[in-house]
Structure 1
Amino acid sequence: MNTTELRKQLVAQLKGGQAFVPLREVLKNVPFDRVNQRPDGMPHSLWDLLEHLRITQHDILDFSTNPNYKTIPWPEAYWPKQACPDEATWQRTKEQLFADLDAMIKLVEDPESDLFTPFAHGDGQNLLREALLVGEHNAYHTGQFVLVRRALGLWKND
């Protein structure tokens, strides 16, 4: 198997933009005064989704790199308990999300990173599975971001 090509395809999935709008694009130009608003009939605000993505992606990265990884409680630890307090927190959370995404991309790109051997601290998971999980999870919630933005009148209708 050509792992160089596999790594390239994994990175493309993590970055997005092949079958869906990249997450970086979806999170551009969001007015802060709307991030805590939940549209009628929708369970999440833009803040809920952003913080959930940050927490989840960080947890997956930690699991993928930390042999002393400790599980966090599902679902309560994966969703924010309060509204985003200020614009600095919104910006910092986006920066943390993308820093962790970049770290996962670097891990996948590193030819020294074994994609296939299960982690000793897991129950069969390996780096390939975790990279696919990040890509799938981010794609799912990227779609939700677009729907919430549309419902708030903050997204082009195409």
Structure 2
Amino acid sequence: MKEVSIIIKNLKELLNGGHAHATFEQAVEKLPAKLQSQVPEGMPYSIWQLVEHIRITQFDILEFSRDPDYESPKWPEGYWPDERAPKNAAAWEESIRQIANDRKAFIELLEAPRADLFTLFPHGSGQNLLREAMLIADHTSYHTGEIIVLRRLMGAWK
């Protein structure tokens, strides 16, 4: 169907971001390590905690969408790291890389020959692939905006 291919094209653009605002990758690009763990006054979390929250949540949605036997973490503690800082630079880079890889894997679900955007998953409570794609995009966009606000508060955003 022509309409479905247009929807998938638009979902891919939405997931990859960048039309109306900065992408996730732009928001974390060249962030000094010392700022990854800082929590500005009045804010509840660090940029590291936001990055990890995005990673954990996106992975959860991906696995939920492709594996009916997958069990989500307990809410909310399973979706937020306690640590305000990554263990090291490698942990930071791995989290960023995993976000990109999981987004790519979700896009592959959308592009699969038998992908069905509209049929409700037999598991869950009314979710379908279209809804989950929009949820990833919305969630990541929301927290990307928060990362940019934190960077502005720390004087580290253009």
Same fold (TM over 0.5): yes
The percentage of counterpart residues that share the same residue type is 45
Q: Is 2:40 the counterpart of 1:9?
A: no
Q: Which digits, 9 at most, give the CA deviation of each residue in 1:39-76, with x for residues without a partner?
A: 11111211010000000000000000001111311100
TM-score, reference length from structure 2: 0.95
Q: Is 2:149 the counterpart of 1:147?
A: yes
Instruction: State the secondary structure of the residue aligned to 1:60.
Output: helix
Q: Is 2:23 the counterpart of 1:22?
A: yes
The residue number in structure 1 matching 2:79 is 78
5 Å-filtered alignment, 1:59-98, equals 59-83=60-84, 84-98=86-100
Distance 1:98 1:122 in 2: 25
Moved more, 138-147 or 108-117: 108-117
Letter of the aligned partner of 1:120 in structure 2? P
Q: How many residues align?
A: 156
Contact 1:26-1:145 at 8 Å conserved across structures:
yes
RMSD value over aligned CA atoms?
1.1
Letter of the aligned partner of 1:127 in structure 2? L
TM-score, reference length from structure 1: 0.95
For structure 1, the residue ranges without an aligned partner over 5 or more in a row are none
For structure 2, the residue ranges without an aligned partner over 5 or more in a row are none
Q: Is 2:52 the counterpart of 1:44?
A: no
